[in-house]
Structure 1
Amino acid sequence: MELRHRDHPRRHDVVAPADDDPSQPTVESHPPMLETLKRSLVGAPLASSEIDEQRISKRVGLAVFSSDAISSTAYATEEILFVVALGASSLALGLPVLVPIALAVALLLLIVSASYRQTIHSYPSGGGSYVVSRENLGETPSLVAGASLLVDYILTVAVSISAGVAAILSIPAFAGLRDHRVAVGLVLVALITLVNLRGVKESGRAFAIPTYVYIVTFGALVVVGLAKAELGLFGGLSPVDAEGFEGALNGGELGLFLVLKGFSSGAVALTGVEAISNGVPAFQKPAPRNAAVTLSWMAAILGTLFLGSAVLATAVMPVPSHDQTVIAQLGLAVFGSGPLFLVLQIATACILTMAANTAYADFPRLSFIIAGDGYLPRQLANRGDRLVFSNGILLLAAAASTLLIGFGGITTALIPLYAVGVFTSFTLSQTGMVRHHLRLREAGWQRGVAINGVGAFTTFVVLLIVAITKFSSGAWLPLIVIPTVVVLFRGVSSHYQRVRSGLRLPDRIVLEPTAHTVVVLVGDVHRGTVEALRYAWSLHPTHLLAVTVVADDDAETAIRERWARVPGDIRLDVIRSPYRELTRPLLRYVDEVDDRWDGDIVTVLIPEFVVSRWWGHFLHNNSALLLKGRLLFRRGTVVTSVPYHLNA
């Protein structure tokens, strides 16, 4: 029987309950146990008004944004030696070129850091290379810069964690974990992710002390080591045992190509230099000045420690190995196997692991900016309840974990992928800054053009060196990945443009009454079904139908007997499905209803009972989810769940 109603329900104003207080945090509907677990792990939610209180000082900022760059002192020297002292070359040929390569890298560091100081003062809102390129070079260069940075940050986490694991495994007590390198790395990723989900300020505090312990310990290694090597103080150096060295100690050839390849490996020491320019808003006010000072501190510390370790290595003559890092060998030679060596290794493992925090601080922030421009999913522009971009943090952790698994947690295997994105973003940023100075011609613009011009030229040359010398070692991969990410950016942007076009209001808006057909899906006749029918009546539909799917005669007879108790003379349509399929027969039925009353809005009501225990949902059939998913893509159809809450 068809029920027709020509009158339409009145609209009612929605009034918020009197006890609602918008100043209080929203109570989420998570099950109590999950909510308690979440709060114990990430902490209580923070109000938006507290965002200024989350800004960090220069001392904390050095730990948060410079740990990546400073941590490279723990493996950059080793990466140079892996190239110039292995394979076609030898340790005797590779060690003499180590210091000249380190000097070239230090000079490059000076140029890049001076260039980024210009960026900090010109673009205090953050965003680094992406924003500079967007404002001065156009859409495509900005997307290339953004893709390069995002890939760089993912690799930062993977390289830092793998290097941290290598430092841990160099401690004799943990040598037994060498076969579980990837598992140890994944545990470290999970821990650093959890700390970052608690907020920028808390993660900075957690990482500040280990960062400074590393700086002091590594500084002591360089100072004491050089005093022993050059002045013969403190009993001199203990020699490195080279018996286990896999390459040749003497002989071989060292041509220009290998020297340039070694330089490109050492240039990874510059990774993370741009991080401070990306995160300027995170600093206490005046943010640009504090960020610039922190950048200068970082460059001075990084340059001094890197050069010092290279000079020390020429005296100690360490042998590059995946089983024991070069820094561990330097530590044994200078400190012996006592407590100071253990402190050095623990501090190195900590700084390498926490170097990933630079990426955790910048990747979500850059994703927020790019998502705000419509090139990434909007979810990445949302702050979590701890005022961090938690979706970006989780995405970064997942991507870096995938790399760790794919490359077996070996630092050297990841390094060639690392430098291409770094120097691509460097070059675009400095080129954009040259255009910025020429366009605005602010006070002192000639000096700015000179600094950034030298930076752009130098980093472009290094980019070519890295791309050429590391191409066969894996540098070709970023040359594919970065354009792929750019295509992804454009695809996301095109989607949002289509959505905006589809949602755009016409010039004249007309609201007319529309016929309404309501279909109630009946799995069985119970209280939830009655609630759904009561709700269906409240909609004042033009047509009200009920439908069920059965497999055989007995099932049909049983449900018709129970349906007879339902008042209102509502027709129950029974669909036979001998193969016990549910979704397809119901979709065909909705198509038939739509054809019968063409022009109606079809609302499908799905009664669902809700159990009080979260685990109870796993004990019931959730086929309604699949059906709702299929109906969602059907034009002119509204799908509504009508929950009935049980105490079970």
Structure 2
Amino acid sequence: MVSKMKRLLIGRPMKNSELEGEKLSKLKALAVLSSDALSSVAYGTEQILIVLMAVGAAAAWYSIPISLAVLGLLVILIFSYRQTIYSYPTGGGAYIVAKDNIGLSSGLLAGGSLLVDYILTVAVSSSAGTDAITSAFPVLHDYRVLIALTMILLLTILNLRGITESASVLALPVYLFVFAIIVLIITGFIKYAMGGAEPAVPVEWGSAANNVSLFLLLKAFSSGCSALTGVEAVSNAIPNFRAPAEKNAAKTLIMMGSILGFMFIGISLLAYWYGIIPSEKETVVSQIANSVFGRGTIYYIIQGVTALILFLAANTAYSAFPLLAFMLAKDKFMPHMFLVRGDRLGYSNGIIFLGVLSAILVIAFHGNTEGLIPLYAVGVFIPFTLSQLGMMIRWIKLKPSGWHVKLLINTIGMLTTLSITLIFIFTKFSQVWAVFIFLPLVIWIFMRIHRHYIHVADQLRINIQEEKLQIKGSTVVVPIGGITSVVRNSLSYAKSLTDNVVAVYVGFDDDSIHKMEEKWEVWNPGVRLITLKSSYRSIVKPLIKFIDTVEWKKNETDHITILIPQFITKHWWQYVLHNQTSLLLRAYLFRHKDVVISTVTYHLDK
């Protein structure tokens, strides 16, 4: 039943030879890896306006120079990450760049930040998509968390089906969103130029606004930089591209940057021209669409594709998180389960892990996008800064042809992103303080995992030149509760392994022990029976004490095997009615004793 459901949800298993067919073309990669960055158009301008509105509507015109500054930073990042793509064509982005050029700790900080950022990407995207739906249909406002969780579940299943299939599904809504926003911007520009715009709150350019400080402007700028999250995804996921991977990735990055820049500055201009004010009940994009088209068919189409792209923006994380987790696991900083490809050739454990953690975040924050975005932005600007610094060090060390220009680009990028990171920390400390606890904790976990794997490797390693196989004898201990078909089956198997077999019976009184000895003598299976008396009615403790004795006597010359008889019931619910002693014994021995534990099963028909 479980297997059939799995096949229905994620499809048939794929062969290793089909992996090349899972690589992405530029158009599909743009849909998968750019959905996060492109979707930020839906809330980037809004985040700027939310900060500015703290001092009144007169400050709204500041959103335009701030948006231009964000656009300039986008250009710097695009050129910087283009250089990273060609320098590190195996992917990994900031983690690999920082680890190779700055040091292990910096690499882990970048990798940990990106992992956290990808988790937040899914949570923010699903929450923002829910906001777009509730803007169009306010009656659904109370169901925001449930809607977000449903979309996370659907995206997780979609990605478990494979990256190519998810790209095919994503391509249409992503390009529909781009087309819809471009139509909105062009129509809005034309309507404004023709004098058809009627701002709800008219604000003149350069008008005086009280209490506008440098601190406030920097806070608004840092909020607007949330529109740049997702820019690094292309450089992280180069292995997902078709050959030549680095060239296709670089072209995809340029396309993404161009589309994002045009849409972001376009939405910012429309928000200013039409006097849009942020609202808890309605997004900025919704208000712009309403002002340009009215609440007709086109408005609902724009809201629909906006909600869809915000949900699907999470797919960028589903593509990048498993790859980054794979690289960290390969370096022994994350569990080895993240190295394993699933039935559909994707890193399934990473996909499931991402879905579960992001769902927990949505529940914890009650689907409040604004509460998640500051953490989300800090999580991405730390790797931005470390990546730029790493590339600076690389150019200084290697000094390739034209390295001065490359160094200049990355230096400007590093100083800018470092400034943004510091602005975030100082202006939004009350919202991002958790990063200073969580990131060191993540790095500590990485180091603990790494140390464990190193210790395990040291203990398991052998010198094949010197250490030869030593053959020991074997003593098999079979705990029994009576003379049954299960016991007969277990003793038969034990005798096929060795002649040194001991059956152990625990009785609660002399009478039961005597009866068991008489029955055993009559049956005479050719196996020695040892009886133990338990005055405290415990079966496990006397067995453990006996095993300790055998282990101590035989440890140097024999392997000790505890062969536990167990029958398997026909129906799953019947299993809970039996086998408690065997489960307790197995659990204790597995954790505490240096013995071999084996189970001999006997299947019941009724």
Query: What TM-score range do you get, normalising by the shorter chain?
Result: over 0.9
Q: Give runs of aligned pairs for residues 32-181 of structure 1, distance below 5 A.
A: 33-86=1-54, 89-93=55-59, 95-172=60-137, 175-181=138-144
Residue of structure 2 in register with 1:386 after alignment: 344
Alignment of 1:21-420 (within 5 A): 33-86=1-54, 89-93=55-59, 95-172=60-137, 175-232=138-195, 236-237=196-197, 240=200, 253-420=211-378
Task: Report the CA distance shift for 1:445/1:547 in structure 2 as closer, same or farther (over 3 A).
Answer: same
Report the CA distance between 1:550 and its aligned residue.
Answer: 4.8
Distance in 2 (CA, whole Å) between partners of 1:333 and 1:550 is 85
Following superposition, the deviation at residue 128 of structure 1 comes to 0.5
Deviation at 1:596, TM superposition (A): 4.5
Return the alpha-carbon distance in structure 1 between the equivalents of residues 581 and 314 of structure 2: 42
Whether 1:531 and 2:494 are equivalent positions in the alignment is no
Is this contact kept in 2: 1:238–1:334, CA < 8 A?
Answer: no
Contact kept in structure 2, 1:166 and 1:322, CA below 8 Å: no
1:366 CA displacement: 0.4
* Counterpart position of 2:423: 465
TM-score of the aligned structures, taking structure 1 as reference length: 0.88
Gap runs ≥5 in structure 1:
1-32, 243-249
Secondary structure at the counterpart of residue 475 of structure 2: strand
Q: Secondary structure at the match of 1:75?
A: helix
Q: Structure 1 residues 320, 539: CA separation in 2 closer, same or farther (over 3 Å shift)? A: same
Q: Which of these residues, 449, 456, 468, is aligned with residue 499 of structure 1?
A: 456
CA distance in 2, matches of 1:555, 1:444: 90
Q: Distance in 2 between matches of 1:275 and 1:121?
A: 15
Shift in alpha-carbon separation, 1:468–1:577, aligned structure 2, 3 A: farther
Q: For 1:456 and 1:449, how far apart are their aligned partners in 2?
A: 10
Give the 3-state SS of the residue equivalent to 1:214 in structure 2.
helix
**Structure 1 residue 332: Cα displacement:** 1.2
Give 2:559's aligned residue.
601
Q: Which residue is 2:603 aligned to?
A: 645
Contact 1:601 1:636 in 2 (8 A): no
| Residues matched between the structures, number | 599
1:411-490 correspondence runs (5 A): 411-472=369-430, 474-490=431-447
Q: Could you tell me which amino acid in structure 2 is paired with residue 167 of structure 1?
A: A
Q: Which structure carries more helix by proportion?
A: 2
Q: Secondary structure at the residue paired with 1:631?
A: helix
Deviation of the 1:194 alpha carbon: 0.3
Q: Secondary structure at the match of 1:85?
A: helix
Post-superposition CA distance 1:6-41 (Å, at most 9, x none)? xxxxxxxxxxxxxxxxxxxxxxxxxxx111110010
Q: Deviations over 1:163-203 (max 9, x none)?
A: 1111111122xx23322222221111111000000000001
Superposed, which structure 2 residues align to 1:560-639 within 5 Å? Answer: 563=520, 566-577=523-534, 581-597=538-554, 599=556, 600-614=558-572, 616-618=574-576, 620-639=578-597
3-state SS of 2:40 partner = helix
Offset, 1:562: 5.9
Mark the CA change 1:580 to 1:266 in structure 2 (over 3 Å): closer, same or farther: farther
Q: How far 1:50 sits from its partner (Å)?
A: 0.8
Indicate if the aligned counterparts of 1:68 and 1:358 stay in contact, CA closer than 8 A: yes
Secondary structure class of the residue paired with 1:487: helix
Match of 1:9 in 2: none
Quote the residue 2:205 is aligned against.
Answer: none
* Mean Cα deviation higher: 434-443 or 387-396: 434-443
Q: Answer whether contact 2:26 2:249 (CA < 8 A) is retained.
A: yes
Q: How far apart, in 2, do the equivalents of 1:592 and 1:240 lie?
A: 87
SS at match of 1:525: coil
**Given the superposition, is the C-alpha separation of residues 116 and 565 from structure 1 closer, same or farther in structure 2, using an over 3 Å criterion?**
farther
Deviation larger for 38-47 or 479-488:
479-488
Report the CA distance between 1:619 and its aligned residue. Answer: 5.2
Looking at structure 1, the residues matched to 411 and 255 of structure 2 have their Cα atoms a distance apart, in angstroms, of 23
3-state SS of paired residue (2:592)? coil
Amino acid at match of 2:33: F
Residues 563/140 of structure 1: CA separation in 2 closer, same or farther (3 Å cut) = same
Matched position secondary structure for 1:39: helix
Question: What's the secondary structure of 1:489's corresponding residue?
Answer: helix
Residues 319, 326 of structure 1: 8 Å contact kept: yes
User: In 2 relative to 1, CA 171–541 (structure 1 residues): closer, same or farther, beyond 3 Å?
Assistant: farther
Kindly provide the amino acid, as one letter, of the partner of residue 223 in structure 1: I
Q: Which moved more, 1:102-111 or 1:618-627?
A: 618-627
For 1:583 and 1:252, locate their aligned partners in 2 and report how far apart those are by CA, in whole Å: 78
Question: CA shift at 1:615, angstroms?
Answer: 5.3
Q: Does the C-alpha gap of structure 1 residues 60 and 589 become closer, same or farther in structure 2, counting only changes over 3 Å?
A: same
Q: 1:288 Cα deviation (Å)?
A: 0.8
Shift of 1:376: 0.6
After the TM superposition, which of the residue ranges 192-201 and 431-440 deviates more from structure 2? 431-440
In the alignment, is the contact (CA less than 8 A) between 1:532 and 1:607 conserved in 2?
Answer: yes
Q: Distance in 2 between matches of 1:551 and 1:329?
A: 79
The one-letter code sitting in structure 1 at the alignment partner of 2:173 is: P
Which amino acid letter does the alignment assign opposite residue 143 of structure 2? H
Moved more, 501-510 or 40-49: 501-510
Tell me the CA shift for residue 590 of structure 1.
Answer: 1.4
Whether the 8 Å contact between 2:554 and 2:560 is mirrored in structure 1 is no
Q: 1:244-287, CA deviations, whole angstroms, 9 ceiling, x for partnerless residues?
A: xxxxxx97522111111111111011100000001111111111
Q: Which amino acid aligns with 1:291?
A: A
Shift of residue 581, structure 1, vs aligned partner:
4.3
Matching residue of 1:5: none
Assess if the C-alpha contact under 8 Å between 1:238 and 1:336 holds in 2. Answer: no
* Stretch of structure 1 that moved more, 162-171 or 521-530: 521-530
Q: Is the contact between residue 240 and residue 329 of structure 1 (CA under 8 Å) also seen in structure 2?
A: no
Letter aligned with residue 142 of structure 2: D
Deviation at 1:595, TM superposition (A): 3.4
TM-score by length of 2: 0.94
**Aligned-partner Cα distance in 1 for 2:434–2:362:** 16
- Summarize deviations over 1:499-540 as a string: whole Å, max 9, x none: 011012146324444343211122443322211111111121
Mark the runs of 5 or more structure 2 residues left unpaired by the alignment. 203-207
CA deviation profile, 1:51-109 (whole Å, cap 9, x unmatched): 111111111101100000000000111111121113xx11222x111111111100000
